[in-house]
Chain A
Amino acid sequence: MQLPAKMIHSLFLVNSSGDIFLEKHWKSVVSRSVCDYFFEAQERASEPENVPPVIPTPHHYLISVLRHRIYFVAVIQSEVPPLFVIEFLHRVVDTFQDYFGVCTEAAIKDNVVVVYELLEEMLDNGFPLATESNILKELIKPPTILRTVVNTITGSTNVGEQLPTGQLSVVPWRRTGVKYTNNEAYFDVVEEIDAIIDKSGSTITAEIQGVIDACVKLTGMPDLTLSFMNPRLLDDVSFHPCVRFKRWEAERILSFIPPDGNFRLLSYHVSCQNLVAIPVYVKHNITFREGSSQGRFELTLGPKQTMGKGLEAVLISSQLPRGVLNTNLNPSQGTYNFDPVTKLLSWDVGKINPQKLPSLKGSMSLQAGASKPDENPTINIQFKIQQSALSGLKVNRLDMYGEKYKPFKGIKYMTKAGKFQVLPAGTGLGFKKIIQYKYRTKHTSLQEGLNTT
């Protein structure tokens, strides 16, 4: 008799056309047919993202994540925290990306043996074993062209023979014996602004989230401290395990022995809900006239509160209503594209010149006879601002202890748009008006409300 075992039982990789192209079992084999439940859910979902992450089936539970248009479907048999599985699957994807540069079906198929070796090391009996990329890289060397050639000739292998020292030490994330001729440490402060702006340009919500990604190539066992000019800005933070939490709590200093190579040191949230300076504004006017098969489209955008830094890589996209057949628009700069099938309008604006604001104007042709669309589209904006962190976060200094050499240190700031939306002008339900009205007199005749309809 076999008891249902905990943790991850099997893993299936499914591509967007619904084929299983890789499977791995950590315990006894689970038949592929279990994925039929997943395919069912996939069919039901209108968009690939809408497949529910947790699907119960009669004997198993399927927990899946979708990254790079590949579903990673884990099969489990009994109670386990779902986030445990989800987090692990994301870690698997990150590792693949780290190893192969991209995580695509082709890359995985090309490196199927390395993938298998990795999965074997990452889980033992369904329980995560080594997920730290520094340790994995000591166990299984990432494939490079040179190494592939050398291995073919000499018959040597990609597999390390010794237990990674990190596995046993107090700093499991760093391998030992790291040597570089050029010692350098780079930190990228990248902030993303998420905002919802209403038609009149006022902010409904705005949040800044940031990360500090590091690329540290330092010899030996350096002990770094990073301090900020204005650490109070950081409202909520989460750290890479290397950061000494107590030091942060006490002094607001990041003190850590870094992993070797690229890693995310810190992600943070800035607590200034009302003070977020919105760096861009959009004026848009999209109208459809009742009975006419034409609609007008006008959109202008410009910089606002950017602290002198230019807006780059601006990209506007909007999902136009289903009734729109085609558009005839004229961009003052950049290129625009309308996909008549998905109704997705995208306009690659590029750099914004404050002297000459970019605009997109023209007409839309609607389906003949169709009624006027109910709703106006939301406008999504993407942009970048180099050399500036929107929240004003500034790194004060970086010090290194424990090693003698002088490293080269670099800091870069960047701001990006995250989920940045501008809402359409709404016809409205009249809630607002009614609410204001309501607070004056509690029970009034409904006649007024009915008359307006």
Chain B
Amino acid sequence: MSTNNLSYNDQGGSDSAVEVGQETTPTSSNAGAGFGLFSTNFKKNDDLKEMLESNKDSLKLDAMKRIIALIATGKNASELFPAVVKNVASKNIELKKLVYVYLVRYAEEQQDLALLSISTFQRALKDPNQLIRASALRVLSSIRVPIIVPIMMLAIKEAASDMSPYVRKTSAHAIQKLYSLDPDQKEHLIEVIDKLLKDKSTLVAGSVVMAFEEVCPDRIDLIHKNYRKLCNLLVDVEEWGQVVIITMLTRYARTQFTSPWKEDGLFDENSETAFYESDEKKTKNGDEKKSYMMDPDHRLLLRNTKPLLQSRNTAVVVSVAQLYWHLAPKHEVGVITKSLVRLLRSHREVQYVVLQNIATMSIQRKGMFEPYMKSFYVRSTDATHIKSLKLEILTSLANEANISTILREFQTYVKSQDKQFAAGTIQAIGRCATNISEVTDTCLQGLVLLLSNRDETVVAESVVVIKKLLQTQPTQHSDIIKHMAKLFDNIAVPMARASILWLMGEYCERVPQIAPDVLRKMAKSFTSEEDIVKLQTVNLAAKLYLTNSKQTKLLTQYILNLGKYDQNYDIRDRTRFIRQLIVPNEKSGALGKYARRILLAPKPAPVLESTYKDRDRYQLGTLSHTINTKASGYLELSDWPAVAPDQSVRNVEVIEPVMIHLYFYYPCPLITQSSSEAESDEEKSSSQSSEESDKSSSQSEKSSSESDSEQKKTTKKPPQKKTVKPTLRLNHTFFLVPVLLSVVPVSGYTVLSQSKCLSRSLFSLCILTPCPLSCAAALLQVSGPAFVPEKRHDLLHRMTGKGLSAQYQFPRQPCLYQPTMVSVQISLTNTTDHPLEQIHIGDRGPTGLDMHCFNTVECLLPEASVTVSLGVDFNDSTQAANFQLCTKEDQFSVSIQPAVGELFLPATMTEQDFRKEQGKLLGMNESSATITMAAENTTRQPISRQVATVANLGVVPSGQDNIHRFAGKTASSGAVVLVTVELRESSAALITINTEKSVMGPMLLRDLKRALTRA
């Protein structure tokens, strides 16, 4: 089909010239349309018009395909606009798409006609199919016609609150298009951006940040509240979005955090665990000046971007690398090295950009890339610009230890057939020689050997480099100068000749015999030399005249005379100047006396340094860095602020739609041991608790006021009295348990509606009980699991733990530290005969699972045990949490493996709501199985118990006897999980699980099947 079309066009091209003159019309665009092609297309286009106006879709489609082929080859098809635009409302989806492509291309030129199509798009914006809505918005916003700006604005605003994240993503793209069409809309667009930034969908995040970068990159304040969310979403955002977000966050971080580079040594890696867990102010005592503590948000960014170094997308890897380079403490930057070196095996173009970045980095931090030196060895198949970059990096990496290896490598390069590269290598040798004084002589000798090379460029480059080296090297190199003088006749490259002449002049006193002879030769060949050589000859003559006027007076005068009548005005100027300066006559006044000091002044040695030296003024990985000039639209990376701006701006109140947890806790370990240690610990914790309580109450006040409105809306039932009676028993061996207040609006537990009241009652709810935590939890849990499995899992056996044994269980409480975490209780027992000290969680490995560790247990006496609680964010996967349990002496690697059922939190909902939710989660979100139930499991209670044992789900009241429903949400992402067990005849049952977590669904199903079929 399209081949026909193309061949037709080719014909058109050949016989077009005839008609050029008469047929040109003003509508023909300048878009590179083949000069005369338009005219012949004209006739044939009639045929296309006919096809477009026919009734058959297939004919129309044919025509459109040919038109697209025209556009693709850059030919003008704009005069078909009226015929094409009629088909914009076609039912045929491919035809429609092709019309869209055409429209976007030509609307700008045919503005009036383009307006005809607008109403179609406006209609399509209301279509129930999200794909159609999105593509309508895409095309509408791509039509660059200023009149429709208000319509676009409206469409964008609507799409920004669309149900479908895909449409919202499209609206983020449309923002940029509208902005480039009409920058006056900025203020309105910023409102939309602000709204979309709050979006939780990973689909939207990348696009909206892109819009932000384009429209209002200076509105940092819009990012504050979304900062943490963006950090946490980052891993799941599509790769292109990741690049944009990382680049933006780099800039953000440089304005918000203090420099981690000042007192690098003081920064303690181990304290890392302690500061990201809560939103506490980083230092209470105001001793920020003394020791640097990294802002937890700063740490969050570094931690969440690190896994992306493993991305297959090279742009993502480099953007993470630049983030680490610009933001991480110096000793942590090393993690990026390996990944960058890995990229060197990618395509040529990727290598080019990565090598440039490495070149800049390696100047400042040699150590980072030195172990990978061999990766920068040049291969004969590399492209020229890759070779020179590798050379650059090798030169930067050279130091006393590796210089001999590098020089040996350079030696092979000098022999390369690529002479330009060989010349580059010689320059590199020169740089090594100046940087590392130990090898200067060696290099110089090597270079002298090169002077006898057969290739002219190599020799010339060596001369130039030797000249520079001799300048940096004082004295005693007259041998080399002599040698060069000998070679002078054979060297033809002007730059090299000029360099030798300059050397002769500069050190003429060291080679008193040779220099005049060289000048003699030059006098002979002066007229046939290049300008640069002539200039140096004049210089040499002048210098010799000053030092050795006896021998050279006549020669000098001869050369000056030649120079006087040279064709080049530079040379004439120079000659005139020199003559006045050195030849004494009555006119030359004061200056003549100083001629010697002027011409033979000691000259500073040239600094041989890398061209990448100053590149770091540009953010790494940017276009500006690559081309070493500021590209338009480049955003400067600001310096670190001296004092960090307010950190609380990033705090976000968590609003839970289903369940509202107000909590209040003491983060001390729970100790069931009467000892003096325990008491001291207790004191500590109580002093801490008074501070804490202030803070947490204010926090809860805030969140309750937030939640108030929601409560009022959702709970119509009259508030019931709390069933929980706070018991207050003070005991010698007491411990403070986390007090949890679950307010479940649906089930009617509205505790309080006044925030003041709430905080007061919170204090009264401070419960101190001596029983194990799980009991307390069961007592307090007002909704949620009726059942908490007692099953404990071994974490560390006492044999492997050298007497320390640990078991864990899931208390099935919402985690106190962070709502996305699953809480885990660990009971530690000391089975040895000596006290174990400082039990804590050590290195958590690179798993990246977010964990809230328990505070260090200072001392555990023999035969004593202690229960501590942990929070682990399993990220809704059954992946094990690995960490090290440490005592003062030992470290044990342990892991917590959650069953899938433990990753949920129970939710309560009405049957109606349940059905509604279920309706949304069909298709791939549903997994089901038919099973044969064990005989005793056929009634309501056993089923509920079995399900509750397997998974932490809430029971949903059901109207039918044979259908049992359970609901919950995943701890980490809050995705709804719905389980239906439908009893069929003869103990068969259908289990259905609806959840958008497509991995957890089947796993839960498997567990449930096992539990329900088991006798």
- Asked whether, in the complex, the Cβ of B479 is within 8 Å of the Cβ of A447, the reply is yes
Cα-based distance from A7 to B998 in the complex (angstroms): 34
Contacts A221-B924, A244-B879 given; indicate if A120 touches B381 (C-beta within 8 A). Answer: no
- Asked whether, in the complex, the Cβ of B623 is within 8 Å of the Cβ of A429, the reply is no
- Asked whether, in the complex, the Cβ of B631 is within 8 Å of the Cβ of A79, the reply is yes
Q: Which of B68, B138, B385 contacts A124 (CB 8 A)?
A: B138
Name which of A273, A371, A374 has the most chain B CB atoms within 10 A of its CB: A374
- Asked whether, in the complex, the Cβ of B313 is within 8 Å of the Cβ of A429, the reply is no
Looking at B289-297, B349-357, B694-702, B762-770, the stretch in contact with chain A turns out to be: B349-357
Q: Could you list 27 examples of A-B contacts with CB < 8 Å?
A: A22-B73, A27-B144, A28-B108, A29-B108, A54-B623, A61-B631, A67-B347, A78-B634, A79-B634, A81-B318, A120-B101, A125-B174, A157-B61, A162-B129, A165-B923, A168-B164, A236-B342, A239-B312, A245-B235, A245-B310, A249-B845, A374-B415, A426-B415, A429-B449, A430-B446, A435-B404, A449-B445
- Asked whether, in the complex, the Cβ of A65 is within 8 Å of the Cβ of B349, the reply is yes
Instruction: Enumerate chain A residues within 8 angstroms of B183, measured Cβ to Cβ.
Output: 1, 3
Q: Which of B68, B142, B166, B880 contacts A163 (CB 8 A)?
A: B166
Min C-beta distance of B55 to chain A, whole Å: 12
Instruction: Enumerate chain B residues within 8 angstroms of A428, measured Cβ to Cβ.
Output: 411
Cα-based distance from A423 to B415 in the complex (angstroms): 11
Cα-based distance from A378 to B239 in the complex (angstroms): 40
Cα-based distance from A446 to B820 in the complex (angstroms): 74
- Asked whether, in the complex, the Cβ of B624 is within 8 Å of the Cβ of A79, the reply is yes
Closest 6 CB pairs of A and B: A78-B633, A157-B94, A32-B32, A163-B131, A53-B349, A155-B58
- Asked whether, in the complex, the Cβ of B315 is within 8 Å of the Cβ of A6, the reply is no
Contacts A117-B97, A125-B177, A131-B240 given; indicate if A449 touches B404 (C-beta within 8 A). Answer: no
Contacts A53-B353, A244-B877 given; indicate if A450 touches B479 (C-beta within 8 A). Answer: yes
Min C-beta distance of A371 to chain B, whole Å: 6
- Asked whether, in the complex, the Cβ of A159 is within 8 Å of the Cβ of B94, the reply is yes
Min C-beta distance of A118 to chain B, whole Å: 11
Interface residues of B in 232-282 (CB under 8 A from A): 235-236, 238-240, 243, 247
Instruction: Enumerate chain B residues within 8 angstroms of A264, measured Cβ to Cβ.
Output: 312
- One digit per residue, 1 when the CB lies within 8 angstroms of any chain B CB and 0 when it does not, for chain A 305-338 equals 0000000000000010110000000000000000
Min C-beta distance of B976 to chain A, whole Å: 14
Min C-beta distance of B342 to chain A, whole Å: 5
Closest Cβ neighbor of B313 among chain A residues: A87
Instruction: Enumerate chain B residues within 8 angstroms of A124, measured Cβ to Cβ.
Output: 138, 170, 173
- Asked whether, in the complex, the Cβ of B131 is within 8 Å of the Cβ of A162, the reply is yes
Cα-based distance from A32 to B94 in the complex (angstroms): 28
- Asked whether, in the complex, the Cβ of A249 is within 8 Å of the Cβ of B349, the reply is no
Closest Cβ neighbor of B174 among chain A residues: A125
- Let me know if B512 is at the binding interface, CB within 8 A: no
- Let me know if A83 is at the binding interface, CB within 8 A: yes
Cα-based distance from A21 to B345 in the complex (angstroms): 30
Q: Which of B314, B375, B847 contacts A83 (CB 8 A)?
A: B314
Instruction: Enumerate chain A residues within 8 angstroms of B56, measured Cβ to Cβ.
Output: 155
Q: Which of A61, A88, A116, A273 contacts B72 (CB 8 A)?
A: A116
- Asked whether, in the complex, the Cβ of A250 is within 8 Å of the Cβ of B882, the reply is yes
Residue ranges of B at the interface with A (Cβ–Cβ < 8 Å)? 1-3, 6, 29-32, 56-58, 61, 65, 68-69, 71-74, 92-95, 97-98, 100-101, 105, 108, 129-131, 134, 138, 141-142, 144, 164-166, 170, 173-174, 176-177, 179-181, 183, 203, 207, 210, 213-214, 235-236, 238-240, 243, 247, 307, 310-315, 317-319, 338-339, 341-342, 345, 347-350, 352-354, 374-375, 377, 379-381, 383-385, 404, 407-408, 410-412, 414-417, 438-439, 441-442, 445-446, 448-455, 479-480, 483, 621-624, 626-627, 629, 631-635, 845-849, 875, 877, 879-880, 882, 895, 923-924, 996-999, 1002-1003
Min C-beta distance of B885 to chain A, whole Å: 16
- Asked whether, in the complex, the Cβ of A251 is within 8 Å of the Cβ of B30, the reply is no
- Asked whether, in the complex, the Cβ of B848 is within 8 Å of the Cβ of A23, the reply is no
- Let me know if A158 is at the binding interface, CB within 8 A: yes
Interface residues of A in 368-390 (CB under 8 A from B): 371, 374-375, 378, 380
- Asked whether, in the complex, the Cβ of A81 is within 8 Å of the Cβ of B845, the reply is no
- Asked whether, in the complex, the Cβ of A113 is within 8 Å of the Cβ of B69, the reply is yes
Contacts A3-B183, A159-B93, A239-B310 given; indicate if A82 touches B623 (C-beta within 8 A). Answer: yes
- Asked whether, in the complex, the Cβ of B442 is within 8 Å of the Cβ of A375, the reply is no
Apart from A238-B342, A402-B999: 9 A-B pairs, beta carbons within 8 A: A49-B383, A56-B631, A116-B72, A235-B338, A249-B846, A374-B454, A421-B379, A438-B442, A443-B441
Min C-beta distance of A264 to chain B, whole Å: 7
- Asked whether, in the complex, the Cβ of B417 is within 8 Å of the Cβ of A375, the reply is yes
- Asked whether, in the complex, the Cβ of B247 is within 8 Å of the Cβ of A81, the reply is yes
- Asked whether, in the complex, the Cβ of B247 is within 8 Å of the Cβ of A446, the reply is no
- Let me know if A172 is at the binding interface, CB within 8 A: yes
- One digit per residue, 1 when the CB lies within 8 angstroms of any chain B CB and 0 when it does not, for chain A 106-125 equals 00011111011100100011
- Asked whether, in the complex, the Cβ of B207 is within 8 Å of the Cβ of A81, the reply is no
Q: Which of A110, A113, A438 contacts B441 (CB 8 A)?
A: A438
Min C-beta distance of A155 to chain B, whole Å: 4
- Asked whether, in the complex, the Cβ of A81 is within 8 Å of the Cβ of B381, the reply is no
- Asked whether, in the complex, the Cβ of B453 is within 8 Å of the Cβ of A374, the reply is yes
Instruction: Enumerate chain B residues within 8 angstroms of A47, measured Cβ to Cβ.
Output: 383-384
Interface residues of A in 49-92 (CB under 8 A from B): 49-50, 52-54, 56, 61, 63-67, 76-84, 86-88, 90
Contacts A29-B31, A29-B105, A429-B450 given; indicate if A435 touches B2 (C-beta within 8 A). Answer: no
Instruction: Enumerate chain B residues within 8 angstroms of A25, measured Cβ to Cβ.
Output: 105
Name which of A128, A207, A443 has the most chain B CB atoms within 10 A of its CB: A128
Cα-based distance from A67 to B319 in the complex (angstroms): 24
- One digit per residue, 1 when the CB lies within 8 angstroms of any chain B CB and 0 when it does not, for chain A 322-363 equals 100000000000000000000000000000000000000000
Closest Cβ neighbor of B376 among chain A residues: A205
- Asked whether, in the complex, the Cβ of B72 is within 8 Å of the Cβ of A246, the reply is no
- Asked whether, in the complex, the Cβ of A53 is within 8 Å of the Cβ of B352, the reply is yes
Q: Which of A1, A45, A249, A435 contacts B847 (CB 8 A)?
A: A249
- Asked whether, in the complex, the Cβ of A86 is within 8 Å of the Cβ of B414, the reply is no
Instruction: Enumerate chain A residues within 8 angstroms of B622, measured Cβ to Cβ.
Output: 79, 81-82
- Let me know if A136 is at the binding interface, CB within 8 A: no
Instruction: Enumerate chain B residues within 8 angstroms of A158, measured Cβ to Cβ.
Output: 94
- Asked whether, in the complex, the Cβ of B374 is within 8 Å of the Cβ of A110, the reply is no
Instruction: Enumerate chain A residues within 8 angstroms of B352, measured Cβ to Cβ.
Output: 52-54
- Let me know if A453 is at the binding interface, CB within 8 A: yes
Instruction: Enumerate chain A residues within 8 angstroms of B417, measured Cβ to Cβ.
Output: 319, 321-322, 375
Min C-beta distance of B61 to chain A, whole Å: 7
Contacts A120-B101, A374-B415, A426-B411 given; indicate if A83 touches B350 (C-beta within 8 A). Answer: yes
Instruction: Enumerate chain A residues within 8 angstroms of B410, measured Cβ to Cβ.
Output: 431
Interface residues of A in 128-160 (CB under 8 A from B): 128-129, 131, 152, 155, 157-159
Instruction: Enumerate chain B residues within 8 angstroms of A170, measured Cβ to Cβ.
Output: 236, 996-998
Cα-based distance from A273 to B373 in the complex (angstroms): 12
Instruction: Enumerate chain B residues within 8 angstroms of A181, measured Cβ to Cβ.
Output: none
Contacts A5-B214, A83-B350, A447-B479 given; indicate if A112 touches B69 (C-beta within 8 A). Answer: yes
- One digit per residue, 1 when the CB lies within 8 angstroms of any chain B CB and 0 when it does not, for chain A 228-250 equals 00000001111111001111011
Q: Which of A2, A22, A241, A438 contacts B180 (CB 8 A)?
A: A2
- Let me know if A410 is at the binding interface, CB within 8 A: no
Contacts A161-B93, A250-B882 given; indicate if A429 touches B98 (C-beta within 8 A). Answer: no
- Asked whether, in the complex, the Cβ of B105 is within 8 Å of the Cβ of A371, the reply is no
Instruction: Enumerate chain B residues within 8 angstroms of A159, measured Cβ to Cβ.
Output: 93-94, 97
- Asked whether, in the complex, the Cβ of B315 is within 8 Å of the Cβ of A83, the reply is yes
Closest Cβ neighbor of A239 among chain B residues: B310
- Let me know if A17 is at the binding interface, CB within 8 A: no
Q: Which of A81, A116, A431 contacts B243 (CB 8 A)?
A: A81
Min C-beta distance of A81 to chain B, whole Å: 5
Q: Which of A52, A76, A79, A250 contacts B635 (CB 8 A)?
A: A79
- Asked whether, in the complex, the Cβ of B166 is within 8 Å of the Cβ of A5, the reply is no
Min C-beta distance of A298 to chain B, whole Å: 20
- Asked whether, in the complex, the Cβ of B448 is within 8 Å of the Cβ of A81, the reply is no
Min C-beta distance of B913 to chain A, whole Å: 23
- Let me know if A267 is at the binding interface, CB within 8 A: yes
